[in-house]
Structure formats: structure tokens, C-alpha cells
Amino acid sequence: MMKLKLFLLAAALLPNIFSANPANAQSNKVIVGYANFSPTYAPVWVAKEIGFFEKYNVNADIIFIFIRGGAMGTQALVSRSFDVIIAGGVAAIEAALAGAELVIVAVPANRMDQAFVARKEITHPAQLKGKKIAVNSLVGSAILAIKIMLQALGINPEKEVTYVTSAMRRPGWQRFKRALSMPPDCHGIQARNLAKLFAAGVRLVLGTDGNRPWAPHDEMFDMVAAGVPPMQVIVAATRNGAEFLRMADAGTLEAGKSADFIVLDANPLDNIANSKRISAVYLRGAAVNRTQPVAGGSTQAG
């Protein structure tokens, strides 16, 4: 089985951060991201608790930050928001193939411990053909594991099933958390981690896996609730995002860049929820007709 379940990744400069030589050891703040609440992520916590890092002269203030999913964690690693991440390796491999300077340091698990959960009337793998399979993301280790399992069961993972991302309403999400014994304060943990990242000077970029109307605006509201000032949230949603994606012609309004912006009826600095009070949308300098869907470019307002 491919060793893709759990990876310890670091930027190419990791050896300069972790020094095994006491003479060269320096006091550093090392931010480690982990992608899930799971026993498979326990070794690094155990290492910290039993003093493993100190034993081998890693003289660093190691901070653990939760980040949801290996794809998001890899993005944060590439942007140097994290020094190390512990996450699924698919996104990291894709990033490395695209030219990102990442190093796979260790693989503590040699199998994918994934499981199918099906309705009770599905009693044989062949009955999965033509069915919809819910996944938390269309990228990453989880869906790769599903495709490997389907192929092993004699099902074409690309043609004989349909993948849909799961989006739960609040009551269903609460039941899901209880079923997995997830911490009841899961979102509170994320908010406190975000506040720690901001206080540490980590560059923030807004993102969402909600895939629903207003999801980015809701993420902005949550960031402010976590303690990030509205102006910094707006910067994370505009300039920082463009810089992270290397979009040189977007992110800010200035000469030589694409005129992509929205006009609001109220000041978002007074209340970040005002970002939803949109009066007009402009793409590449042209007003968008918001009564019509945008297909392949902006539509002139009529």
C-alpha cells in the first residue's frame, strides 16, 4: 500500500531551523500545523510531552496549530505560514510536482486506514456502481484512498461513481461531531488557533471549503469574531490571497492591475457583515449585470 496517509513535511530550510548541534542550537519559534483530530497524529504530541525535542537539542518554542485538511495545510506551508505540517501527502506531492520546494521528512504510517460507510440496503461492493459517494473534499488523501479502494473492488473510480462534497446543516453537523467524539468546542479551537496565528504575525489568507453562497463573507465574519481586525480580514481576502496565488494583476486597486472590486452600501470596517451589502460588482473595469449569471467573463450592466 502506498505510504500516503501521513506525512511530516517541511520547507527546504528545515535543517537550519532544527539544529542537533548544541553549539548551533538557537531559540526559535516553530509553528507546526496538524490536519486532523486523530490518534494517527499522536506521535508528535507524545514527542513534545515526553521531552523528545529537548533531548535531541531542538531548542525551539514549538507551537501546534490545527488547520483543516492536507490541501489547506500544504498551501500554508508553501506560503511559509507554517514551518512543518503533519497531514495527508497528496496535496504536498502535487505541490512539489508543480515546483514547490517541499521535503517529505518522515512517513510514520504505511497504510490508509479509511472505511466505506454505506446505507444498509447496500450489501455488496458491486451495488456501489452508479451511486453517489460523499467526500469531504475533491482533492487530498481521503478521496485518493476512496479511489484506490473502489479500484480494488472492481469499480472504475472515474466512471462508475459520482463524488459529491458533503455539506451538512447545523443539526446534522452536531450529530456528526458527537458520533466522532470530536471536541465540542471544535470551532472555538479553530478560532483560538487563528488568533494565535495572527498574534504571531503569520500572514493570513482567506479561504473557504463551504462552496455555498456568501461562504467567504461568513468566513470573514468568523475571522473578526476570532479577534482579527476587520481591515486585516479584508487584506487577507484581497491582497494576501492574490499574492499567495501569484496573481500579479489582482488583489489591490492600482495602476496596471485589473479593476476587480465591489461597491458596498455600508462600511465593512464598522461591521464586517456589511461586506454582504453589495451595491455593484466590477470585473476588469466593467460593471457586472447581477441579474444574469457570469459565463466566461463579465457582463455589461444594461
Q: Which of 277, 282, 276, 273 is nearest to 265 (CA)?
A: 277
Residue ranges covered by each domain of the chain: 7-106, 125-167, 203-287
Do 189 and 183 touch, CB atoms closer than 8 A? Answer: yes
Q: Cβ distance 67 to 34 under 8 Å?
A: yes
Range name among 112-121, 131-140, 171-180 with the lowest pLDDT average: 171-180
Question: Looking at the predicted structure, is the pLDDT value of residue 61 above 90?
Answer: no
Per-residue pLDDT tens over the stretch 147-191: 888 998 899 998 999 888 755 555 555 565 555 444 555 567 788
Bridge partners of residue 102, in order along the sequence: 11
The three cell numbers of residue 218 are 461568513
Task: Dump pLDDT digits (tens) for 214-226.
Answer: 888 888 988 998 8
CA distance 74 to 96: 10
In a 10 Å sphere around its CB, with 0-12 CB exposed, 13-18 middle and 19+ buried, how is residue 301 labelled?
middle
Given a cut of 60, whether residue 258 has pLDDT beyond it is yes
Within 10 A of 167 (CB to CB), how many other CB atoms are there? 14
Sorted by sequence, the CB contacts under 8 Å of residue 240 that are 6+ apart come out as: 203, 204, 205, 206, 251
Q: Which residue has the higher pLDDT, 242 or 107?
A: 242
Q: What angle do CA 244, 246, 251 make, to 5 degrees?
A: 75
283: confidence class by pLDDT, cuts 50, 70, 90 = confident
Q: Tell me the average pLDDT across 57-77.
A: 75
How far does the chain reach from its first CA to its final CA, in angstroms? Answer: 58
For the domain made up of 7-106, the CATH class stated in words is alpha beta
Angular region, 251: left φ>0, alpha ψ -120 to 50, beta rest: left
The whole-number pLDDT of residue 64 equals 76
7-30: average pLDDT: 41
Rounded mean pLDDT, 90-110: 78
Question: What is the rounded average pLDDT of the residues 28-52?
Answer: 75
Mean per-residue pLDDT of the chain: 75
